[in-house]
Structures are given as C-alpha cells and as structure tokens.
Amino acid sequence: MKIIYLHQYFKTPKEGGAIRSYHIATSLAKAGFDVELITSYNGKKYKKKFIEGVWVHYLPIQYHNNLGTFARIWAFLKFIRSSYQFAKKIQQQNHSTPLLCYATSTPLTVGWIALRLKRKLNIPYFFEVRDLWPQAPIEMGVIKYSWLEKALFRLEKKIYEQSEQVIALSPGMQQAIGKKIPLDKIKMIPNMADNEFFEAKQDGYSSTKNQFVISYLGTVGLANHLEYLVEIAHLAQKKKIEQVKFWIAGEGKQLEYIKSKATDLTNINFLEPVDKQGVKEILSQSQATYTSFLQKPVLTTCSPNKFFDSLAMGKLTIVNTTGWLKELVEKHKCGFYANPNNPKEFINKLTPFLESEDLLQQYQQNAQKLAVSLFDKHKLCAEIVNLVEEYFIG
C-alpha cells in the first residue's frame, strides 16, 4: 500500500520550521506503508533523499517568506504542475498497488493537486487543513477581489467534499469546515508535542537573582504582528522591570520592520532562526514563551507548533489570541491570555510569576503535563495511522 504525501514546505528536525509532516510520514512508514513525499526546496535541480523509511522528492521551486504576492502565486502554480506530473509518474510505476494521497495545506492549492489526482488518475485522498484558506488571506487583505474569493471558496468546498477524510488542526477549524461538509467526515488532530526531545526541566529561576526570559520562536510575518510584543517591551522598560528579557528567534517579511521598532529597547534580543535543536536550547534558557497573532477571527483557530514545543519543555505559555489556545492555558493553568492591545494587562498578569517561584514552577509543571496527556506526538500520529489503516481495510 503506497501513500503519496504532498507537502509543499516539508521540513526535517535538522531544519527550521514545522515538522508535523516528518512525524506523520515516518510513522506511516514504520506502520508498513510505502511513503513517497513530494515537496519543494530552494534549489536548482531535483533531488531525493531516503529519510527514516520515507522517499522524499525535492522539486526545485524557489520560495521564501519575503516573496511578494505574485511571486508566491507563481511558486504555488509551479508546484501544482510539477508535483502532479511527479505523482502521475509514481502512479504509473505502481499501477497495481493501492494508492492514497495525503495532502496537507497550506496553501489551498495543495488540495487542488489532490483533487486533480482523484479526477484524472483515480487516486483518493485525505486532506489536512493547517490553516483556513481562503478565509485567512481574505481577512489579512491579501485577496481583495470578490470574484476570486467566490472561486476560492468553491474550490475549498470541492476539496473537502471529494476527500475521503478531512483532518483539522484545531476545534475552530473543525467547526468552520463543518459548515461546508458533514462533521462526521472531519477529524480534529492538533499539532504535536515532542515529549521525548523536549524534556521538561525546571530552571531554578529566582525572583531575586535571575533574568526572566520570554521567548518568541517562529515566523515574523504580518499574521504574527510582533508589534504587540515590542509595545510590551517598551512598557516593561519604562516601568524598569529589569529582570524581564524578550528573545525573538525567527525570520519573515516583517523582521526588519520589527527590529526598527525596537531600536531604543535594551530588553529585546533578536536571535538567528534555529533548527529543532536550537529551539530546545533557547527554550531551556527561557521561563516563558509568547504566542502572537494579529487580531483577526480566523487566526484564533491556528495551531502553532511552537506553542506545543513550549508545553513540552514545561514553560509558562502566554498567548495573545482568544479561541482554543486561550481556553487551554486558562483551563489547565499553564499560562495566561493577555489582550495584545493592552500591554499593561500583560505586565499585571506576568507580575505574580516574577514574584513567586512556586507559582511559576506549578504552571510550568502543568504545561508539561498537558503536553503528555493531550498532545504527545506518538498518540496523535497513531490516530492518523489508524485512519489510513481503516481506509485501506475498508
């Protein structure tokens, strides 16, 4: 049984970025499936690698976070054409083997590839929704033409309808998709905590001796709106809360702009983008993390991987978005929500943790417990493997 796995931005632990597909693909391979993953990279020639039981095919398609809208669209279209042709080649080489396509967004055009494979080559597919497209770019103001919005919404619905299984990464995504197709066709399997790699460790923070590091790791883009964090840093410096330091490790279209907003701050440190080991090292020196999104309704449904890294490392996990992340940190007492438009609220909610080592340690322990109980990678990958096995069994 062969699986054609489509992910335009596949990463391994040795690279920076989300590695959900790495965990899923290798878990499927360990379960006995023949997995071939099609992705893209910023190279000039096609290459392939055998990674822990998975053949990964790298198609040479240039893409990076600083690309403009039209350049991104061109990259999406090129991946559609190239990956479809490559999947067709795989099908021709395995004409007597049961096939399934596992397609993960974003962008939505990955679902378009899966839809074409089903229509043209009779290859059924699972569709994994990492972000709600086209709702996200519409709310962000990237898509401005009503005719294009309607066309993309029709495509989105068709992709959902024609899939064998839709996998959503958050309850909010599941609910939104459930307005377009029956809920019983949608499985919610969130992002994962790697509890083996990110070993929770209490750092012995002392309110009288040590600095209190709040780290942000990930993309520095329009959707993240790190201006919120800069405003908090301004207030902390003004109030002379000297033990609090803010670390930002990432890259993206807004990075230079965010740096320009922080030139007069001594409590912000900008770090280079890091791989998984680098994330671990930064978190090991942090007491808390900050998950940041622009205040748009669609972004409250996000399932950011660094949030789960924070839980696994046992860090006070701070969020600035309402929705399920706010509910998680408040219900499980492992962090807090602070209105991003009110920096004073952030400082007020942080202060008890600066003053009480016991309170900080309790919340950090709760974070690690949550990572193990609900978001362990082995448990969640097993759910996906089981869905695929059930499909093949019939």
Q: How is residue 281 written in tokens?
A: 């090292």
- What does the pLDDT read at residue 113? 95
- What does the pLDDT read at residue 66? 62
Q: Are strands 268-271 and 186-188 parallel, antiparallel or unpaired?
A: unpaired
**What does the alpha-carbon distance between residue 139 and residue 359 come to, in Å, rounded to a whole number?**
38
189-201: average pLDDT: 91
- What does the pLDDT read at residue 315? 96
- What does the pLDDT read at residue 67? 63
Using alpha carbons only, give the angle 289, 293, 295 rounded to the nearest 5 degrees.
135
164-191: average pLDDT: 97
**What does the alpha-carbon distance between residue 245 and residue 203 come to, in Å, rounded to a whole number?**
16
User: Helix, strand, or coil here: 357?
Assistant: helix
DSSP state for residue 181 in the 8-state scheme: S
Q: Are strands 47-51 and 54-60 parallel, antiparallel or unpaired?
A: antiparallel
Q: Give 235-255 pLDDT, tens digit per residue.
A: 999 999 999 999 999 999 899
The residues near 85 (Cβ < 8 Å, ≥ 6 apart) are none
Q: CB-hemisphere CA count at 13 Å for 388?
A: 31
Q: Give 274-290 pLDDT, tens digit per residue.
A: 999 999 999 999 999 99
Q: Is 195 left (phi over 0), alpha (psi -120 to 50) or beta?
A: alpha
**What does the alpha-carbon distance between residue 348 and residue 257 come to, in Å, rounded to a whole number?**
27
**What does the alpha-carbon distance between residue 129 and residue 89 come to, in Å, rounded to a whole number?**
26
Cα 192 to chain centroid distance, Å, stands at 9
Q: Are strands 316-319 and 288-291 parallel, antiparallel or unpaired?
A: parallel
Q: Which pLDDT band holds residue 35 (cuts at 50, 70, 90)?
A: very high
Answer whether residue 16 shows pLDDT above 80. no
Domain ranges of the chain: 2-191+376-393, 212-374
Q: How is residue 394 written in tokens?
A: 């019939």
- What does the pLDDT read at residue 394? 72
Answer whether residue 203 shows pLDDT above 70. no
Per-residue exposure over 179-210, b if at least 16 CB sit within 10 Å of its own CB, e if not: eebeeeebbbbbbbbbbeebebeebebeeeee
Least confident stretch, 139-153, 194-208, 301-315, 371-385:
194-208
Name residue 358's amino acid.
D
Q: What is the DSSP string of 8-67?
A: TT---TTSSS--HHHHHHHHHHHTT-EEEEEEEES-SS-EEEEETTEEEEEEE----TT-
- What does the pLDDT read at residue 65? 63
Answer whether residue 36 shows pLDDT above 80. yes
Q: Are strands 2-6 and 34-41 parallel, antiparallel or unpaired?
A: parallel
For the chain, the average pLDDT equals 93
72-86: average pLDDT: 88
User: Can 2-191+376-393 and 212-374 be said to share one CATH topology?
Assistant: yes
Q: Give the Å distances, CA to CA, from 320 to 243, 290, 292.
A: 22, 8, 6
- What does the pLDDT read at residue 68? 67
pTM of this structure: 0.94
Answer whether residue 208 shows pLDDT above 70. no
Return the CATH fold of 2-191+376-393.
Answer: Rossmann fold (3.40.50)
What element of type H or E holds 172? helix 171-177
353-371: average pLDDT: 96
- What does the pLDDT read at residue 238? 97
Q: Which pLDDT band holds residue 34 (cuts at 50, 70, 90)?
A: very high
Return the CATH fold of 212-374.
Answer: Rossmann fold (3.40.50)
Q: What is the DSSP string of 67-98?
A: --HHHHHHHHHHHHHHHHHHHHHHHHHTTTS-
**What does the alpha-carbon distance between residue 195 and residue 82 come to, in Å, rounded to a whole number?**
36
